[in-house]
A and B are shown apart, each in its own frame.
Chain A
Amino acid sequence: MARNVSTRRKLAVTAVAWTIGILIFFPILWTFLTSFKTEAQAIASPPAFLFFDWTTENYFEVQSRSNYFKHFMNSVVVSFGSTLLGLIIAIPAAWAMAFAPTKRTKDVLMWMLSTKMMPPVGVLVPMYLMFRNSGLLDTRTGLVIVLTLINLPIIIWMLYTYFKEIPGEILEAARMDGASLAKEIIYVLTPMAIPGIASTLLLNIILAWNEAFWTLNLSAAKAAPLTAFIASYSSPEGLFYAKLSAASTMAIAPILILGWFSQKQLVRGLTFGAVK
């Protein structure tokens, strides 16, 4: 039996939850609103909440002054590049561990997870020097390499938990019906694996897009993705709140939308399948 909930209680819960939700979301909303103000309005006291002269000039200004689009493309290339490269390396591994497990599979998985526990600062110096000496410093290629490595354990874990759920019997059934290995892979396994791969892809793009240790330390003007570009607003000249807001809004909007569509996968991926 469903619980009998009085409408009054439901209304009270709704009011409290919405208030808290809006408070938590408010900094993002405020950034969005500020991005449409003039710089003078952005620092006005008392602040203008909705009644100001809406303008889109900040967005154009950010582009013309600092070539925003270049940094946006850096973010796209680095996050998609590292994710795709990671998937190419991880899919066979996760596949083998899920379908042909050995006694050591669990240990290998735990060991992979443990590599995530190494603090990045423990290898900052050699990475910086190696990058400098090999000309990878401030290149997209260099960032793709590092982000692939740091996210590889998460990709493998997540794929593993998805592949693990594909029932082995269905393969046997396909084989009984006379399917060849190639057909088995194309018609039976791939369709069942695609949702898992897609979720992994999505989560990893979010993680790579927001990564802010290696991108800040290993990139400068040329290859800086949005994380590093936004960081340059920490030493401002003159009024800059509205421009910071415009740049920020554009930097976070794509990932907010992706993230909202993949809430369930977020939980699963970030807990290495421990909480579903």
Chain B
Amino acid sequence: MATLHTRSAARLMIAPSVLLLLAWMIVPLAMTIYFSLLRYNLLMPGMEEFAGLSNYTYFLTDPAFFQAIFNTLAIVLGVLFITVIGGIALALLLDQPMFGQGIVRILVIAPFLIMPTVAALVWKNMFMNPVSGLFAWLAKLVGLQPFDFLANAPLFSIILIVAWQWLPFATLILLTALQSLDEEQKEAAQMDGAGAWSRFFYLVLPHLSRAITVVILIQTIFLLSVFAEILVTTNGGPGTQSTNLTFLVYAQALLQFDVGGASAGGIIAVILANIVAFFLMRMIGKTLEA
């Protein structure tokens, strides 16, 4: 491949992608850092002035900020917990011989293909609504008071909706990994007298560890930035009970028009994502090497 091998040709082919991504990484991020040091509100144009770190102290002393950090982590961990455990269980189930396996797979995958605004609005209105939702009807059927999910347990409700969307992803990936497990190994373990539990813990789970790591890594990236589901269900409320960091910065920027404050919040979000990414990359590095 002499022609392709010429280094400069290869570089020329890679250059547009690298330059675009570099620009995408650096230009807006540099602007965010710059804005975060200004007192800058869109409602008061021409009044921009250098403000030092006051935007950061404002953000870091705002009670809503700590609530948002807590909510962000609760969403990530809650959804991960449900989807990883549920995904393993579902993958094990779907791996068994059954009738119509392909159809069940299709049914299970479907929620992942639904756009977030549709998923959230369908759950909000047709299931969680305390008057006309299906859950209210079920509650009344068994003699319970209907529960107003989004008013009384907003964060939990959002976790449920998001987990419904991501469960198929975990299932699909774990199932794919499960199907690459050597059938003979399982039989050998069975012949040696290993029970279902020990086969699961000593054979299946170690085999899945790489796929589980991948699921955790990829979901965490997306779950840190859950946005649409909050916007269309609770709008961050009541109060700030279901505001995560992404939503807090959005509200500061596009509802309060506080460019400086929102930028400081954005930078804090970037730092947090980097900390998480650092640990995840180390974790995934270890399992990928093993």
A-to-B contact residues, CB < 8 Å: 1, 3, 5, 10-11, 13-14, 16-18, 20-22, 24-25, 27-28, 30-31, 34, 43, 45-47, 89-90, 92-93, 95-97, 99-100, 102, 108, 112, 114-130, 149, 152-153, 156, 168, 171-172, 181, 206, 209-210, 212-213, 216-217, 226-228, 230-231, 233-234, 241, 244-245, 248, 251-252, 255-256, 258-260, 263-264, 266-267, 270-271, 274-276
Contacts and interface: CB of A to CB of B under 8 A. Distances in A.
B32 A122 contact: yes
Given A13-B98, A115-B21, A241-B125, A24 B4 contact: no
Interface string B81-123: 0000000001001101111110111111111111111110111
B1 interface: yes
A97 B14 contact: yes
Contact of A24 (B20, B111, B211, B233): B111
Contact of A21 (B21, B107, B169): B107
A172 B225 CA distance: 47
A81 B246 CA distance: 27
Given A28-B114, A100-B5, A248-B121, A152 B227 contact: no
Contact of B104 (A21, A27, A96, A210): A21
Contact of B29 (A24, A89, A118): A118
A27 B108 CA distance: 12
25 contacts: A10-B96, A10-B98, A17-B104, A20-B108, A28-B114, A95-B4, A96-B11, A100-B10, A102-B7, A115-B21, A118-B29, A119-B270, A123-B31, A152-B21, A153-B21, A181-B3, A212-B117, A234-B121, A234-B233, A245-B122, A252-B114, A256-B113, A260-B113, A267-B176, A275-B177
Nearest to A123: B28
Given A126-B35, A231-B117, A149 B24 contact: yes
Contacts of B122: 27-28, 30-31, 244-245, 248
A17 B16 contact: no
Interface in B147-171: 164, 167-169
Nearest to B270: A122
A263 B172 contact: yes
Nearest to A210: B115
B115 A30 contact: no
A122 B269 contact: yes
Interface residues of B, number: 105
A248 B122 CA distance: 9
B176 A128 contact: no
A120 B117 contact: no
B24 to A, nearest CB: 5
A108 B35 contact: no
A117 B107 contact: no
B242 interface: no
B28 A47 contact: no
A212 B227 contact: yes
A259 B126 contact: no
Contacts of A259: 109-110, 112-113
A141 to B, nearest CB: 16
6 nearest A-B pairs in the assembled complex, by CB-CB distance: A126-B31, A92-B13, A123-B28, A212-B228, A21-B107, A259-B113
Nearest to B186: A3
Interface string B252-283: 01100001001101110110111001000000
Contacts of A127: 28
Contacts of A112: 17-18, 21
A90 B21 CA distance: 11
Contacts of B60: none
Contacts of B74: none
A100 B7 contact: yes
Contacts of A125: 31-32, 35, 253, 259, 262-263, 266
Nearest to B262: A125
Nearest to A276: B176
A222 to B, nearest CB: 17
A214 to B, nearest CB: 10
B221 A13 contact: no
A34 B173 CA distance: 32
A121 B20 contact: no
A130 B119 CA distance: 31
A118 to B, nearest CB: 6
Contacts of A245: 122, 126
A7 to B, nearest CB: 10
A207 to B, nearest CB: 10
Contacts of A266: 109, 112, 172
Given A20-B108, A27-B164, A248-B122, 15 more contacts: A10-B97, A18-B104, A27-B127, A96-B9, A100-B1, A115-B24, A124-B262, A213-B225, A231-B117, A231-B121, A234-B231, A234-B233, A251-B115, A255-B115, A276-B180
